[in-house]
Amino acid sequence: MSRKQKKSLIRIIIAAVLFAAGYIVPFADFPAWAKLCFFAAVYLVIGYDVLWKAVRGLFSGQLLDENFLMAIASVGAFCLGDYPEAVMVVLLYQIGELFQSCAVSKSRKSISALMDIRPDSANLERDGAIAQVSPEEVKIGDIIVIRPGEKIPLDCTVEEGSSSVDTSSVTGESVPRDVSIGSALISGCVNISGLLRCRVTAGFGESTVSKILALVENAGEHKARAENFITRFAHVYTPAVVAAAVILAVVPSMFDGNWSEWIHRALTFLVISCPCALVISVPMSFFGGIGGASRCGILIKGAEYLEQLANVKTMVFDKTGTLTEGSFRVTQVNAAGCTKEELVEAAAYAEAYSHHPIAQSLRAAYGSEPDSSRLSDVSEIPGQGISAQLDNEPILVGNALLMENSGVEFTVCDAVGTIVYVARGGKFLGSVIISDTVKHDSAEAIKKLRERGVERTIMLTGDSESAGQTVTKRLGIDEAHCGLLPGDKAERVEKLLSEKKGVLAFVGDGVNDAPVLTRADIGIAMGGIGSDAAIEAADIVIMDDKPSKIPLAVGIARKTLRIVKENIVFALGVKALFLLLGALGFANMWAAVFADVGVSIIAILNATRALRTKNL
Amino acid sequence: MKKVYELTDLDCANCAAKMERAVSEIEGVESVSISFMTQKMTIMTDEAGHKDIMKKVVKVCKKIEPDCVINL
């Protein structure tokens, strides 16, 4: 509890004790003014600030705020001779306010704790000694030491030592990542086990942690439609209720002359009318949703986007790097007349000196470094492949054309991907298929998205029709638009935007998708770490590169929106009901105070549910 | 020019909404957003008149919620 809250609690306790004492004291034995004085004193203890704020509001033209309503209601009750009720209204109001304030600060704290990835200090190595400095002081190229248990203060690469790193606060990934010399470290993660000596690669302002924090801190700027609706609603609602209260006090009294009864009902009306439950619970739900998502490694730039995401009907995916790994790997080895190992070995040796992605994936499949003493006469045949001598035997590695031209008899392979044929000593050894692999959770992600209301899924790719169709079929995507140049993607999304119903989201890896990310209703960038363009252009950034986070984000958005709707309906419903009961004379002040602060508290507690993302 | 200010003792969500509305009506304020949850005000103003505009902003906010302080 803050000091303000503690002070309020003490006042509530004192007032409550005095109030209870008021029932024991036999006021009938004293003159009439004794009772008035006693309750007036209790009233001042608990309500002086409300009165003071109301008076101050009166002078600055803020006639219709909460304090003013409470002051009128309680002073009105005093005038009607209902002293205990006047005290009770303010007492309950203060209890409710205290509860509300505690609930808000608690959820605010738990949300900021989720986002608390800001490093406090860095251990800078200077002239052989280690000094603790603020991360802002460290420059690119400096050496920092990160001890076990410490946050990584800046983006850096490991120079010495090995450890495992907990990236969960940044990416939501719970399995620690092993790092050793040469590994790049992301600021905001926590070093778990070993001492690391690292060279800084980005200043604090440019480090991942700063970018994430800036993004999260600005999330309040983009307000959702529901939020704006509520503030606009509150703007007309309060004056309307006050006008209704005046009518309720005056009009029926003119007919039956029972002024005190109708004024009493009008006062009840005023207490019920406060719009705070609504105004507080809606932004709080969104805030909770954004906080919950950030814990899962999904950064959402504002409530507006969370709201849109809940209504996504069309989702457009970039293929390479989003649904697929974006890197080439050996996916199939067809050996003919030798073992698979021999085949891959021959291919890897031939490509030993090449930097082409295909060559790299062949070497990766071979696993060990080629021994150059076994290799000689390596020459490249443009557009065909490579010829070389391995263990003094001629080898040929390349496409079908190379095999044909060299007169090697070979079996044609029609798999999707890049096909590499290998021959040794004029004899066909087999073929190796290299292709981009689909991420293991892509299919599951598409299936879940469909369950969560996405009606149309589309994949855009620069690859050939056959390669594209294979992927869409495997993943269960509705349409594929293949053979697109980078510029075509924006055009294609533009066209989809014109024919869509509902919200269109585009998911890309952000490397060259910035224009498309900005153009779509919602741009979702994957693998946000390290890509500035993605963080800039996208509305939602998924920190790791898992497609399964997309349905999770949609799930969080839908849950948040459901909570927002529940709160709006619940608060308005209860208020409307109690206003009606109040007007008809069935609701007393107790009920009125419940309808005000009770509803706020229930709505706040409901809003904190948005923070929980398990089981989504 | 876009600036973000922290707000202290912003206790009521409705006041935040009212402040936002009132500040947005000040001349020279291009856009303003007050977040009750993060206790922050993000404001876009003319570069030149920023100081004078902020004086008006403080005055307007003081009127609506006297306890709330804008940390300039």
Q: B11 — contact with chain A (CB < 8 Å)?
A: yes
User: In this complex, do A60 and B35 lie within 8 Å of one another by their Cβ atoms?
Assistant: no
Q: What is the spatial distance between Cα A549 and Cα A507, in angstroms, rounded to a whole number?
A: 11
* Residue B6 β-bridge partners: B40, B71
Are A445 and A528 found together in one domain?
Answer: yes
> What pLDDT was estimated at residue A412?
84
Calculate Rg over the CA atoms of chain B: 11
Q: Pick from A202, A237, A253: which residue ends a domain?
A: A202
Q: Is the pLDDT of residue A197 over 60?
A: yes
* Domain C-terminal end among A438, A468, A484: A438
User: Comparing A223 with A140, which gets the higher pLDDT?
Assistant: A140
B63 near A CB under 8 A: yes
Give residue A11's pLDDT band: very low, low, confident or very high (50, 70, 90): very high
Residue A317 has pLDDT above 80, yes or no: yes
Distance in angstroms (rounded) separating the CA atoms of residues A408 and A400: 10
Domain assignment present for A350: yes
pLDDT band at residue A13, thresholds of 50, 70 and 90?
Answer: very high
pLDDT of residue B50: 87
Proportion of chain A above pLDDT 90, given as a percent: 20
Q: Choose the final residue of a domain: A522, A554, A586.
A: A554
For residues B61 and A221, which has the higher predicted lDDT (pLDDT)? B61
Check whether B35 has a pLDDT greater than 60.
yes
Q: What is the percentage of chain B residues whose pLDDT exceeds 90? A: 7
Nearest CA in chain A to B64: A62
* Shared-domain flag, residues A151 and A184: yes
Flag the least confident range among A83-87, A407-411, A426-430, A611-615: A611-615
Least confident residue range of A200-204, A228-232, A395-399: A228-232
Contact A452, A554 (CB under 8 A): yes
Pair A296, A549: CB distance under 8 Å: yes
Q: Tell me whether A109 touches chain B (CB under 8 Å).
A: no
The total number of structural domains in chain A stands at 3
How wide is the angle at C-alpha A604 spanned by C-alphas B24 and B10, nearest 5°?
A: 40
Instruction: Establish if A519 belongs to a structural domain.
Output: yes
pLDDT the model gives residue A64: 66
Write the CATH number for A338. 3.40.1110.10
Residue spans of alpha helices (H) in A257-329: 259-273, 276-295, 303-309
Residue A455's pLDDT band, with cuts at 50, 70 and 90, is very high
Residue A200 has pLDDT above 90, yes or no: yes
pLDDT at A503: 92
Identify the pLDDT of residue A511.
65
Measuring CA to CA, how many Å separate A21 from each of A32, A359, A476?
Answer: 17, 89, 72
Cβ neighbours of residue A81 under 8 Å, at least 6 residues apart?
none
Q: Are residues A465 and A535 in the same domain?
A: yes
Judge residue A394's burial from the number of C-beta atoms within 10 Å of its C-beta, 0-12 exposed, 13-18 middle, 19 or more buried.
middle
- Average pLDDT of the segment spanning A548-573: 93
Q: Which one of A66, A231, A287 has the shortest CB-CB distance to B12? A: A66
A318 is catalytic: yes
Res A127 pLDDT > 80: yes
A465 and A526 part of one domain: yes
Residue type, A25: V
Q: Which pLDDT score is estimated for A504? A: 94
* CATH number reported for the structural domain that contains residue A305 in this entry: 3.40.50.1000
DSSP 8-state class, residue A478: S
For A592, residues 6+ apart whose C-beta sits below 8 A from its C-beta are A73, A89, A268, A269, A271, A272, A578, A582
Residues A372 and A479 in one domain: no
Residues A538, A467 share a domain = yes
Asked if A174 and A168 count as a contact pair (C-beta separation under 8 A), the reply is yes
- Mark yes or no for CB contact A62/B21 under 8 Å: no
Nearest to A312 by CA among A516, A519, A456, A448: A456
Residue B41's beta-bridge partner residues?
B5, B34
* Site of tokens 């459901």: A562
User: In this complex, do A283 and B33 lie within 8 Å of one another by their Cβ atoms?
Assistant: no
Chain A interface includes B40 (CB < 8 A): yes
The bridge status of strand A312-318 relative to strand A456-460 is: parallel
User: Residue A530 above 60 pLDDT?
Assistant: no
Model confidence at A115, pLDDT cuts 50, 70, 90, reads low
Q: Which of A103, A220, A225, A226 is nearest to A565 (CA)?
A: A226
A443 and A549 in one domain? yes
Q: Using the CB atoms, write b or e for A122-154: b if 16+ within 10 Å.
A: bbbeeeeeeeebebeebeeebbbbbeeebbbbb
Whether the predicted pLDDT of A448 surpasses 90: yes
A220 touches chain B (CB under 8 A): yes
Identify from A52, A111, A279, A281 which residue to disrupt to test chain B contact, counting B C-beta atoms within 10 A and taking the largest count. A279
User: What is residue A111's predicted lDDT score, i.e. its pLDDT?
Assistant: 67
Q: CA A236, CA A345: separation in Å to the nearest integer? A: 77
Cβ within 8 Å, pair B40-A56: no
Cα distance from B24 to chain A (closest Cα, Å)?
A: 14
The alpha helices in A315-420, defined as continuous H runs, are 340-350, 357-366, 400-405
CA distance A307 to A503: 10
Q: Is B24 at the interface with chain A, CB within 8 A? A: no
Residue A600 has pLDDT above 80, yes or no: yes
Residue A253 confidence class, pLDDT cut points 50, 70, 90: confident
Q: Where do the domains of chain B lie, and which CATH numbers do they carry?
A: 2-71 (3.30.70.100)
In this structure, is residue A129 part of a structural domain?
no
Q: What is the mean pLDDT of chain A?
A: 85
Most confident of A295-304, A561-570, A583-592: A561-570
Positive or negative: CA dihedral A476, A479, A485, A489: negative
Question: Does residue A191 sit within a domain?
Answer: yes
- Are A583 and A265 within 8 A, CB to CB? yes
**Chain B residues lying within 8 Å of A234, measured CB to CB:** 14, 17
- Amino acid occupying residue A47: G
Q: Chain A within 8 Å of B13 (Cβ-Cβ)?
A: yes
Arithmetic mean of pLDDT, A179-201: 90
Contact assignment for A218 to B42 by CB distance below 8 Å? yes
Q: Residues A197, A331: one domain?
A: no
Contact (Cβ atoms closer than 8 angstroms) between residue A57 and residue A239: no
Per the CB < 8 A criterion, the answer to whether B26 and B12 are in contact is no
Question: Sheet containing A190-191: which strands, arranged edge to edge?
Answer: A177-179, A163-166, A190-191
Nearest to B35 among A53, A220, A231 (CB): A220
CA dist A3 → A6, A43, B70 (Å) = 5, 22, 20
Here the CATH number for the domain that contains residue A192 is 2.70.150.10
Which of A220, A276, A284 lies closest to B33 in CB terms?
A220
Banded model confidence at residue A385, pLDDT cuts 50, 70, 90: confident
Q: What is the pLDDT of residues A262-282, one digit of tens each?
A: 888 888 888 787 777 777 788
B14 interface with A at CB cutoff 8 Å:
yes
Does A238 have pLDDT greater than 80? no
Same domain, A402 and A474: no
CA A515 to chain centre: 22
Residues from chain B that touch A235, judged by Cβ atoms under 8 A, are 17-18, 21
> Do residues B36 and A101 make contact, with C-beta atoms less than 8 angstroms apart?
no
Q: What is the mean pLDDT of residues A194-215?
A: 85
pLDDT of A456 > 90? The answer is: yes
- For an interface test with A, which of B6, B38, B41 has the most A Cβ atoms less than 10 Å from its Cβ? B38
A498 domain-assigned = yes
Q: Which two tokens stand for residue A115?
A: 């986002």
Residue of B17, B18, B37 lying closest to A220 (CB–CB):
B37
A287, B37: Cβ pair inside 8 Å? yes
Residue A64 domain flag? no
DSSP letter string over B10-72? Answer: ---HHHHHHHHHHHHTSTTEEEEEEETTTTEEEEEE-STTHHHHHHHHHHHHHHH-TT-EEE-
Residue B72 pLDDT exceeds 70: yes
Q: What percent of chain A has pLDDT over 70?
A: 96
B44 touches chain A (CB under 8 A): no
- The answer to whether the CB of A242 falls within 8 A of the CB of A270 is yes
Residue A421 sits in the same domain as residue A445: no
Residues 225-244 of A with CB under 8 A from B: 230-231, 234-235
Tokens of A145: 């030491």
Residues of A with Cβ-Cβ distance to B59 under 8 angstroms: none
Residue A459: is its pLDDT beyond 90?
Answer: yes
Question: Mean of the pLDDT values across residues A416-440?
Answer: 87
Residue A416 belongs to domain spanning: 326-438
Helix/strand/coil for A140: coil
d(CA A504, CA A484): 19
How many other CB atoms sit within 10 Å of the CB of residue A206? 14
Q: Are residues A334 and A305 in the same domain?
A: no
Model confidence at A531: pLDDT above 70: no
Residue A398 covered by a domain: yes
Q: Which of A82, A318, A509, A544 is catalytic?
A: A318
Tell me the pTM. Answer: 0.79
Do residues A211 and A202 lie in contact, with contact meaning Cβ atoms separated by under 8 Å?
A: no
A114 domain residue, yes or no: no
**A317 plus A333 within the same structural domain:** no
**Is residue A555 predicted with pLDDT exceeding 90?**
yes
Stretch A101-108: mean pLDDT: 78
**pLDDT of A41 over the 60 cut:** yes
From chain A, the residues in CB contact with B12 under 8 A are 66, 276, 280
